[in-house]
Chains A and B, each alone.
Chain A
Amino acid sequence: MRTRRLAAALAAVAFIAVGCGSEPESAQTAGRAGIPEASKPSRWKATLEPVSFDSWQEELHSLQGQIVVVDMWATWCLPCIERFPHMVELANEFANQGVEFVSLCLDDRDDADAIELATEFLTEQKATFPNYLMDEVVTHAFEKLDLLGIPAVFIYGPDGVLRYRLTGDDPNNQYTDADVADAIEELLAAG
């Protein structure tokens, strides 16, 4: 049953990945970053670090000095699953440019199956950046983050100030994948 669920989730991802040609690009980028694909541990496994809302603020603070891109997602959010590979691509593309990618999972912290699925998904995606799990009742997390929905991408400047809040809150102005890259480029250009 579990394998079937993961397979279903990953099938969607594989479809996107194949469609975007992300696999080869990721591998090439990793090569450019000086980490030969073959030398990576073959059994690397993603971990989800639980954070309360307050400790999440501290984590963000600790990342100051870099541009920080936060992808907010959950396994129950199919658009999140479909868009996640693009974040991994961007993380590889902007590697070593002073841009830190992190993911913040908004699955139900008490749902062991969902957390396991999320970890398997991150592993499959080779999401080697820091991956956090919001350790709050999920609706409380949305309130504290002032989120209406996910996927959402928050981008902080090196000064720690939230510069871009990319959401789907306005039906006539929902963010696109291109908006994420554009926002990062603009922040990099601003120095």
Chain B
Amino acid sequence: MNLRGLILATSILTLVVVPVALHAGEYNAVVEIGAPMPQFSDLPATDGTSLSYADLEEEVVILVFLANHCPWVKGMDPDLIELGEAIQSDNVRIIGVSVNHREDDRMPAMKKHGAEAGYNFTYIYDESQQLGRELGATRTPEYYVFDKDRELVYMGLLHNSPASKRQDGTINYTEGDPTQFYVADAVKALLAGQEITVAETRAHGCSVEYAQN
């Protein structure tokens, strides 16, 4: 990077940091690691049930913000489902959350997409968008891992090679085969009572649109 580039990049960074006065993570304007899981109640799921915070009994809970319409979600679906299979026998629960108001991200489309993609976890819709707001979830897919005390221990990417589904149906991994599995590693560390080495990464995907007052 030349000097001009460095100066411009520095000015960008300065402006990024200043307006965000909230408690925030490195890549999150609202929460930082250690934040409590927001309370939620009776959010409808694609299987016809509803889910509340109080229903969660597992040792580890993974919230992943999803959007049916998003090529980055579609590209990463197989890896998310693989994660679901890998943790099946453990005391871990994955919950998919959709909060966008666009029609192709609402419940009817969620049911269709979940069935077609083979989602093997509870997939809920939060029309109030409150859960996403309180977690500062602005991209899909974006992962949040909570420990048994429901404190946030990891947020960001599933792994280090975000993938998107192209128009021709092929899946393209930005960094080739993934080599670092952040969510799986965080879960393993929690279950083994070990420290989590990577607690935050820059989630990549489609933007979540929140209703602005």
Contact = CB atoms under 8 A, between A and B. Distances in A.
Interface residues of B, number: 47
B29 A170 contact: yes
Q: Is the interface of B mostly helix, strand, loop or mixed?
A: loop
B132 A108 contact: no
A158 interface: no
Q: What is the interface residue range for chain A against chain B?
A: 35 or more
A77 B8 contact: no
A118 to B, nearest CB: 11
Contacts, number: 119
Contacts of A139: 162, 174-175, 202, 204
Given A78-B206, A148-B202, A170 B16 contact: no
Nearest to B160: A139
8 contacts: A57-B4, A58-B4, A139-B162, A139-B204, A162-B11, A165-B15, A170-B20, A170-B30
Interface of A: 5, 53-54, 57-58, 60-61, 76-79, 108, 110-111, 113-114, 117, 137-139, 142-146, 148-151, 154, 160-162, 165, 168-174, 176
Interface of B: 1-2, 4-5, 8-9, 11-13, 15-16, 19-20, 22, 27, 29-30, 69-72, 102, 129, 132-133, 136-139, 162, 164, 166-168, 172, 174-175, 202-210, 212
